[in-house]
Amino acid sequence: MQSRPQSALCVSVLTSILLFNANVLANDLADTEWPSYNNTADGGRYSTLGQINAQNVTGLKEVCRMQVDDSGTFQAGLIQIGGILYMTNAHDTLAVDATNCALRWRHLYRPEEQDVFQVNRGVAYANGKLFRGTPDARMLAIDAVTGKMLWKQQIGDPMQGEFFSSVPVVWQGQLITGAAGSDWGIRGRVMAFDQESGRELWRFYTIPRGKETGADTWVKRDSARYGGGGSWSTYALDMSAGEVFVPVGNPAPDFAPNHRPGENLFTNSMVVLDARTGALKWWHQLAPHDGLDLDIGAAPMLYWNSKGDAMVALGSKDGHVYGVNRETHQRTFMTAVTTIEKPPHAPDAQGVHSCPGPVGGVEWNGPAYDQKSKQIVVGAVDWCALIKSGEANFQPGKFLIGGSWVFDQRRSGWITAVDPDNGKVRWQYHAAGPVVAGVTPTAGGVTFAGDMMGNLLALDSANGKLLHQVATGGAVAGGIITYALGGKQYLAIDSGNVSRLSFGENGKPSVIIYALGNEAGAVVPVLAATVVADPAAIPGKDADADRGRDIYGKNCAACHGGSGEGAVGPALQGLHTRRDFAATVKWVTQPSSKMPKLYPSILNAQGVADVAAYVQGL
């Protein structure tokens, strides 16, 4: 028998050993979870997984997808516990198999009062329970195994414009959350509840009154009654210190600052509370007396710099990322992460041009920390606007904008990596659409993100170069998470979202799972709709205004107001005196560039008829 040359034999043996070790490593990849909105309590969003890396990420394939709704917002921060993905839309909570998209259960919540704003950003998990807020100001506790509701508490008043879109945080048997609704003129507050019963344990008002710290910053004291200061994303926790870091929203009215003279604490601030009692420990305000809607919507991110200093990074709608020392409370850097054009003065009746505009900058997903590359990474929206000041008449439960704005035509997004010590930009990636989704750096040297044009993005963490791009079919507006199950690393994302930021690729709200090396995956349908592409076929006589109310809440209220009172979009109350049914149908099916295109990809013919019937009755 002829023997192989010894060198060839060595190569063959070495190859076999390498393949064997690779298989062992793959099979030994321990199962991991993504247990909370930003993975860890400090808000870092980093994953230690590296099976998907900069060399093989182009081999990422779709495993499966499942449609979770027919239309509307889908901005939930996904979590994964024990092989199950948990997610929300405005009303429903879903449990989905994290490897094949099979639906385990779906909890349907039907509002008990009129919704304020149909959006929800996800659930918190603790001790077998899921916790979430609702658009009509309730808090729900749901059994994570069965989907059964364990308790429900009304914790706010939707008639005052209060709703709960933020993801609660859990700590020592407590559930901590805050009321959203700055733009409706609420008086913001953060509250803690008992996880077992929903009983309130403490509260802290983000708009101080009377003898509370900061009350004197509302010079016109009565304006603090409806001062805003809502909370609409999630929070960070310092577990060792027992502190909760709360991002606080804008003051109201948004564009009429002369109506509320003073610094307007604690709006546009990071507020640090004692998690045990809710007592104020310290704060850092970014934009005192704001008249441009430049609030903090994203969770702060806690980290340690190279000197061992305890730091917190803040991403703001003003278009900057900030570094603040947690011991001295002093700002160490302020870095622009999108286009900045500061107006020369506050808004007036003629208008001022501002970059970012009211939906620009860093939105509801904030900075992440790349532990491998030692850098902060953040996504942002590049979208300017002309902002005008106007009347500010407070009416409970109605928008209290105090003006209006007109978007610039061009919009895009940025992903920026900065030095955690001094804030210097290391690299930037310019995305085709606004970037509001969670940015997730990994040990594989890949940073995952997404944009509102429907692209899943994989960037080289070392230099920001695009390694791979996937068209998902819908705006990417929520969680992008990664985890390991059965020796395989998966990536799960939200796709499909209709909101003021997604006039590009809206798509139907769906969860999509990716992994390496799979063939085209399965689509698991949950909802189906018949699409008729001819507007003339829309059935006016069969229109159902009650169904139209739900469609309106999902897709239209963000711009036109919950009751059609108007905001960035025109008021719809009394529309029947200006447009008949046929003209309203044409308006929906043939929208201008200022409106999202919903027909026929999002709404079918019946849906158009229903929503037209509803707005005709406002």
pLDDT digits (tens, 9 = 90+) for 121-138: 999 999 999 999 999 999
Sign of the dihedral through C-alpha 493, 495, 497, 503: positive
Query: Phi and psi (nearest 5°) for 388?
Result: -115, 140
Burial state string for 251-284 with b = 16 or more CB within 10 A and e = fewer than 16:
bbbbbbbebbebbbbbbbbbbbbebeebebeebb
User: Which of the four pLDDT bands, split at 50, 70 and 90, describes residue 269?
Assistant: very high
| Per-residue model confidence (pLDDT) at position 523 | 58
Asked whether 524 and 103 are in contact (CB, 8 A), the reply is: yes
pLDDT digits (tens, 9 = 90+) for 178-201: 999 999 999 999 999 999 999 999
pLDDT digits (tens, 9 = 90+) for 507-559: 999 999 999 985 555 655 554 433 334 455 566 668 888 887 877 777 777 67
Token pair, residue 566, equals 């108007």
Residue carrying the six token digits 């048997």: 173
User: Which of the four pLDDT bands, split at 50, 70 and 90, describes residue 391?
Assistant: very high
Task: Please give the distance of CA 279 from its chain centroid, rounded to a whole number.
Answer: 27
SS3 236: strand
Element (H, E) at 18: helix 6-27
Higher model confidence: residue 530 or residue 273?
273
| Per-residue model confidence (pLDDT) at position 559 | 74
Asked whether 457 and 469 are in contact (CB, 8 A), the reply is: yes
DSSP E strands, 474-610: 480-485, 488-495, 510-516, 522-524
Q: What is the DSSP letter of 244?
A: E
| Per-residue model confidence (pLDDT) at position 501 | 67
Q: Give dist(CA 38, CA 370) in Å, integer.
A: 13
Q: Report the pLDDT averaged over residues 446-470.
A: 98
CB within 8 Å of 375: residues ≥ 6 apart:
369, 417, 418, 419, 420, 426, 461
Query: Phi and psi (nearest 5°) for 497?
Result: -165, 135
**Would you say residue 290 has pLDDT above 90?**
yes
User: Which of the four pLDDT bands, split at 50, 70 and 90, describes residue 463?
Assistant: very high
**Which residue from 375, 364, 496, 491 is spatially nearest to 424, judged by alpha carbons?**
375
Lowest mean pLDDT among 213-222, 508-517, 608-617: 608-617
Asked whether 66 and 101 are in contact (CB, 8 A), the reply is: yes
Token pair, residue 443, equals 């040990």
Residue carrying the six token digits 């658009």: 135
Q: Report the pLDDT averaged over residues 486-497.
A: 97
**Mean pLDDT over the full length of the chain:** 90
Q: What is the DSSP letter of 334?
A: E
3-state helix, strand, coil in the chain (%, to 5): 15, 30, 55
CB within 8 Å of 384: residues ≥ 6 apart:
339, 341, 353, 354, 355, 356, 357, 360, 407, 408
| Per-residue model confidence (pLDDT) at position 606 | 85
Residue 219 carries which side chain, given as an amino acid letter? V
DSSP E strands, 162-300: 169-171, 174-178, 189-194, 200-205, 236-238, 243-247, 269-274, 280-285
Judge whether 57-524 and 535-616 match in fold: no
pLDDT digits (tens, 9 = 90+) for 68-109: 999 899 999 999 999 999 999 999 999 999 999 999 999 999
Query: Exposure of 17 by Cβ count < 10 A (0-12 exposed, 13-18 middle, 19+ buried)?
Result: exposed
**Would you say residue 8 has pLDDT above 60?**
no
pLDDT digits (tens, 9 = 90+) for 407-442: 998 999 999 999 999 999 999 999 999 999 999 999
Residue 381 carries which side chain, given as an amino acid letter? V
Q: In the chain, what percentage of residues exceed pLDDT 90?
A: 77
**Which residue from 507, 502, 543, 597 is spatially nearest to 69, judged by alpha carbons?**
507
**Which residue from 292, 514, 272 is spatially nearest to 385, judged by alpha carbons?**
292
Asked whether 398 and 486 are in contact (CB, 8 A), the reply is: no
Residue ranges of domains in the chain: 57-524, 535-616
**Would you say residue 477 has pLDDT above 80?**
yes
Token pair, residue 571, equals 């008021």
Class of domain 535-616: mainly alpha
Q: In the chain, what percentage of residues exceed pLDDT 70?
A: 90
Class of domain 57-524: mainly beta
**Which residue from 200, 178, 197, 177 is spatially nearest to 188, judged by alpha carbons?**
178
| Per-residue model confidence (pLDDT) at position 568 | 66
User: Which of the four pLDDT bands, split at 50, 70 and 90, describes residue 579?
Assistant: confident
**Would you say residue 503 has pLDDT above 60?**
no
